[in-house]
Amino acid sequence: MSTAKPTTIDEYLARATPKHRALLEKLRRAIHAAAPGAEEYIGYGLTGFKLHGRPLVYLGAWEKHCALYAASPATQAQFHDELKGFTVSKGTIQFTTEKPLPLALVKKIVRARAAENAAKVGLRKTSPKRNEKPSAPTSTADAASVLATLKKLSDPRILKEMSTRYGIVTRDAFGIRMNEMQTLAKQIGRNHPLALALWKTGNYEARMVAIYVAEPEKVTPALLDAWCRDFDNWATCDTACFKLFDRTPHAYRKVAEWAKRENEFEKRAAFALLASLALHDKAAKDDTFVQFLPLIEMATRDERNFVKKSVSWALRAVGGRSSVLRSKAVALARTLASSTAAPARWVGKDALKALARKEPA
Q: Which of 244, 340, 249, 258 is nearest to 300 (CA)?
A: 340
CATH number at residue 75: 3.90.1150.200
60 and 17 in contact (C-beta within 8 Å)?
Answer: no
Please write the tens of the pLDDT for every residue from 101-144. 999 999 999 999 988 887 776 534 433 444 443 333 334 448 88
pLDDT tens digits, residue range 177-225? Answer: 999 999 889 888 899 999 999 999 999 999 999 999 999 999 999 999 9
141/52 same-domain check: no
Domain end, chosen from 87, 119, 151, is at: 119
* Residues 58-104: tens digit of each pLDDT: 999 999 999 999 988 888 888 999 999 999 987 899 999 999 999 99
Say yes or no: 154 and 252 in one domain: no
Q: For the whole model, what pTM was predicted?
A: 0.63
Number of domain units in the chain: 3
**CATH code, domain with 347:** 1.25.40
- The verdict on residue 297 lying in a domain is yes
Structural domain boundaries enclosing 295? 230-361
- Could you count the other beta carbons within 10 Å of the beta carbon of residue 150? 24
Does residue 2 lie within any of the structural domains? no
Q: Residue 128 falls within a domain, yes or no?
A: no
175 plus 235 within the same structural domain: no
β partners of residue 59: 47, 68
E-strand stretches of the chain:
39-43, 46-51, 54-61, 66-69, 87-89, 92-95
Residue 245 and residue 361 share a domain: yes
Distance CA 216, CA 95 (A): 40
Query: Domain for residue 97, yes or no?
Result: yes
Pick the last residue of a domain from 214, 244, 269.
Answer: 214
Residues 260 and 201 occupy one common structural domain: no
What pLDDT, on a 0 to 100 scale, did the predictor assign at position 38?
84
Indicate the DSSP class of residue 54.
E
* Of 86, 119, 152, the domain-final residue: 119
Does any domain span residue 175? yes
